[in-house]
Amino acid sequence: MFSGAILLARASLGIIAWEETTEILLMATLACLVLWHVRRRLAATAAVTRLADHQVAAARQRERLGRLTSHEMRTPLTIASGYVDLLLAHEDRREQCDDLLVVRDELGRLVRAGDRLLRTITLEDELPQDGLDLSDLVEETVTRWSAVAHRTWVSDTTRATGVASRERLRVCLDTLIENAVRYTEPGGTIRVFCYPDEPGSICLGVADSGPGFSPEQAALLNDRECAAHAEGGLGIGPSGPGGQTGYGLGIVQEIITARHGTVRAERAPEGGALVRMLLPDGLGGPTSRRRPADRS
C-alpha cells in the first residue's frame, strides 16, 4: 500500500505516466493470491493433522481392545484348563478321559491364539534397545519353559552380547519354543542356543526332536523375499499331524527382518526342526555353557 501511494503521488505530479500505476492493481492481485494460497495451505495442514490424530486414536483403541481381549481370554481359559486337569485326575473311564483330553487340547489352542495376538500387537510398540547378554536370555527362557512343559531341555550357549530389544527377542524365542513343544512328545528334546556366528553377528535359535520341516517348507521359510510378502502367516509349519498356518513363524520373520537379520530353517541334529535367527551387532566372548535340564 505504501508503494502504491508513492506511485499515485508521482503520477499526480506528472513525474511518471498514469499507465505505470497499473502496477498497483497487479501488486494487490498478487498479494490476494498469496494470502489465498497461505489460507488453503493452513486449511490443508489442519485437515491432515486432524486425520493423523484420528488414525492414531483409532490405532490406540484397536491396540487396547486387542490387549484387553487377550487378557480377558487368558483368565477363564486358565481356570477351565485347571478344572479339566482336575477332572482327568479323578476320571477312570477311558472314553471320558479321551473327551477331556480333546477339550484340554482345544483350550490350549485358544491360549496360544491369545499369546499370538499379544505378540502381534507388541510388534507395533516402540521398545527400547539395550545391551543384552543373550546367553542369560536363553537361560532364563529355558528355565521358564521347562517349568510348564515336560521335555528334555538343553541350554546350549556361548556368551554373546548385542544391542536389541529384549522383549522382541523374547517373543521370537517364545514363538519358536511354542512350535517345538507342539511338535514334540513329552520327554522329547528341545535345545535353545546362542553363539557368535561371524564377526559382528550372533546366532540365536531353537532345535527339537520332532518331525521337522519338509524340504518344501524349509525352502519357503528360507526364501526371504517370499516370507516378507506373505500375508496371514507363511502357510507352513513343521510336517506331521497338527500342522499350523505358520503365523508364528511369520512374526519371527518380521521381527528379525526389521533388524536386518535373517531366519533359516534347517534339519536339527536332534532329528527335528532347527530355526536359526542371525542378527547383526553381536559381540561374542570365550565362555561356553551347555546345560541339560529335564523338568516337568
Q: pLDDT tier at 13 (50, 70, 90 boundaries)?
A: low
Check pLDDT > 80 for residue 57.
no
263, 125, 111, 293: CA torsion to nearest 10: 50
Q: What dihedral angle (degrees, nearest 10) is formed by the CA atoms of 174, 179, 183, 188?
A: -20
Return the pLDDT at 270.
Answer: 93
**Mean of the per-residue pLDDT values of the chain:** 75
Q: pLDDT tens digit string along 121-163?
A: 655 555 555 667 888 889 999 988 887 788 999 999 887 777 7
pLDDT of residue 205: 94
pLDDT tier at 283, thresholds 50, 70, 90: very low
pLDDT (average), residues 184-192: 93
Q: Which range has the top average pLDDT, 65-69, 129-133, 165-169, 236-240?
A: 165-169
**What is residue 268's predicted lDDT score, i.e. its pLDDT?**
92
What is residue 100's predicted lDDT score, i.e. its pLDDT? Answer: 87
Examine the pLDDT at 235 and tell me if it is beyond 70: no
| Comparison of pLDDT for 154 and 289, the residue scoring more | 154
Instruction: Report which of 173, 252, 255 is spatially closest to residue 206, judged by C-alpha positions.
Output: 173
List, as one string, the DSSP characters of 81-106: HHHHHHHHHT---HHHHHHHHHHHHH
User: Which residue intervals of the chain are DSSP H helices?
Assistant: 2-12, 22-89, 94-122, 134-146, 166-182, 215-222, 224-228, 247-258
In this predicted structure, what is the pLDDT of residue 6?
64
- Residues contacting 187, CB < 8 A, separation 6+: 150, 151, 152
Q: What is the pLDDT of residues 162-182, one digit of tens each?
A: 777 777 888 889 889 988 988
| Lowest mean pLDDT segment, chosen from 4-8, 36-40, 212-216, 288-292 | 288-292
What would the mean pLDDT of 101-127 be, rounded to a whole number? 70
Give the span between the Cα atoms of 88 and 96, in whole angstroms: 9
